[in-house]
Amino acid sequence: MPDLTVRQQQIVDFIQLRQEQEGICPSRAEIADHFGFRSRNAVNEHLRLIRQKGFIGETEGKMRALKLITPLQRHRQKVANIPIFGSIPAGFAQAKVQEAKGCVSIDIGTLGITPTPGTFALEVRGDSMIGKHIMDGDIVVLEQGVNPKSGEVVAALIDNESTLKTFLLNRGKPFLRAENPKYPDLIPAQELVIQGVFRALIRRAAG
């Protein structure tokens, strides 16, 4: 999370002090008076930047009422819960019924992704993607509703069987390739449906 500038930290300290002394945060006019700002626009700009950095928020139901966000709350803002919809074979394609298995919590900053309502996760079973460093037992985070580019890893339904493979095009026709030479290419006989495009990998620590 970005650090505050000296002036931004002074404003946060002033808000915190007033909150501790009086039980409420100062108004924008009071902040302007305290720091000698000539207009409330300057206050609003500082508050906008501080809000972007996650140090203040607005009290719901109260127009322009400030509230401090604690370090724990700021940490929670960086964590997202991604639903896990069962497992997917990274081997030979298998008929599979999607099953909910709870969720996995991810640190958005560490993984470098911004989850959306279409983000989901699957547990990997098999070794067909080891060339992409995706191992048995890993959890892959995928994005639904995205058109894959050639070379991207996808969760796909090929002729009604699910699998995790690399999406490729041959003369404009899509097919799936394993990243392990012992598995053949998969060419759809009837249908190839992309269920999700790979976004991140989560590996559990060895027990």
Side chain identity, residue 75: H
What does DSSP say about strands 103-107 and 79-89: parallel, antiparallel, or unpaired? antiparallel
Query: Residue 10: helix, strand or coil by DSSP?
Result: helix
Confirm whether 96 is a catalytic residue: no
Q: d(Cα 166, Cα 152) in Å, to the nearest integer?
A: 6
Confirm whether 132 is a catalytic residue: no
Candidates 193, 198, 98; CA nearest to 138 is 198
Q: Provide the token pair at 13.
A: 């300290």
The single residue of 128, 132, 149, 150 carrying the catalytic annotation is: 128
The single residue of 87, 132, 162, 165 carrying the catalytic annotation is: 165
Q: Count other C-beta atoms under 10 Å from residue 153's C-beta.
A: 23
Catalogue the active-site residues: 128, 165
